[in-house]
């Protein structure tokens, strides 16, 4: 099965597509990713989590910091809010906390929370670059593709994420209606359809909504584009 890697892991521009064995193939095993800074440093106290290939709800637990790597450790359940394939803790986790995401006895993700909080960066915004039908690519079918351009900024965006919606979202419910999330480590963001994934767009989009968020639960205003 092939899929367009619209959402890669933390070092890529987006994070909602399964990890790839090569450019256009994916594992069909259940998996998860805990969003964290592209710098590799510990993430925020209310990290976003994306799931795929899961047939039932996953478990998110708070475990001891000395839990052996790649091992499921006993811990306490973390209450999460869930919409579709996205979830995040309902409340801030303690400084230095470690969480694990498990499913059917398998460890899907493991991450540590930083000490101290981070405010939402005062960035310079984002703009609509183009929206048109494009030819089939190596990992994408022919179809609508939207390209966004991040305005030049000196703000630290290593733990900032762009939330993308196809309809105006409820400012108080960031997960509701969320279509995609992107790590802000690139000046350009490309959004399209992928092999093996639900279509993001049926037609060339004329409008979307975005907002900036970070791992500590801070949310920026909803921005309508173009």
d(C-alpha 178, C-alpha 34), whole Å? 16
Q: Residue 85 region, left (φ>0) first, then alpha (ψ -120 to 50), else beta? A: alpha
For the residues 179-194, what does the mean pLDDT come to?
Answer: 89
Residue 91 has pLDDT above 70, yes or no: yes
For the residues 41-68, what does the mean pLDDT come to?
Answer: 91
For the residues 138-157, what does the mean pLDDT come to?
Answer: 90
Quote the tokens at residue 212. Answer: 């900036």
For the residues 143-162, what does the mean pLDDT come to?
Answer: 94
Residue 34 has pLDDT above 70, yes or no: yes
Confidence of residue 212 (pLDDT cuts 50, 70, 90): very high
Report how far apart the first and last C-alpha atoms of the chain are (Å, whole number): 34
d(C-alpha 113, C-alpha 31), whole Å? 20
Residue 92 has pLDDT above 90, yes or no: yes
Query: pTM for the complete prediction?
Result: 0.85
d(C-alpha 37, C-alpha 159), whole Å? 4
Residue 21 has pLDDT above 90, yes or no: no
Map out the domains of the chain with their CATH numbers: 20-112 (2.60.40), 126-225 (2.60.40)
d(C-alpha 80, C-alpha 144), whole Å? 34
d(C-alpha 175, C-alpha 198), whole Å? 18
């Amino acid at each position: 099965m092939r899929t367009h890697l619209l959402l890669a892991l933390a070092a890529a521009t987006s994070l909602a597509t399964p990890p790839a064995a090569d450019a256009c193939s994916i594992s069909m095993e259940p998996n998860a990713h805990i969003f964290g800074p592209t710098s590799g440093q510990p993430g925020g106290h209310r990290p976003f989590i994306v799931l795929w290939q899961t047939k039932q709800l996953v478990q998110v637990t708070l475990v001891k910091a000395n839990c052996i790597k790649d091992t499921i450790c006993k811990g306490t359940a973390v209450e999460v809010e869930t919409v579709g394939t996205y979830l995040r803790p309902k409340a801030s986790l303690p400084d230095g906390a470690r969480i694990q995401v498990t499913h059917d006895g398998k460890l899907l993700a493991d991450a540590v929370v930083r000490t101290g909080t981070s405010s939402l960066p005062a960035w310079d915004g984002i703009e609509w670059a183009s929206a048109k039908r494009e030819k089939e690519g190596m990992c994408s079918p022919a179809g609508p593709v939207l390209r966004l351009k991040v305005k030049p900024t000196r703000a630290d965006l290593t733990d900032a994420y762009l939330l993308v919606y196809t309809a105006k979202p409820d400012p108080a419910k960031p997960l509701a209606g969320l279509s995609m999330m992107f790590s802000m480590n690139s000046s350009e963001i490309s959004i399209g359809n992928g092999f093996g994934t639900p279509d993001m767009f049926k037609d060339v989009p004329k409008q979307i909504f975005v907002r900036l968020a970070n791992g500590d639960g801070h949310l920026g205003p909803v921005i309508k584009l173009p």
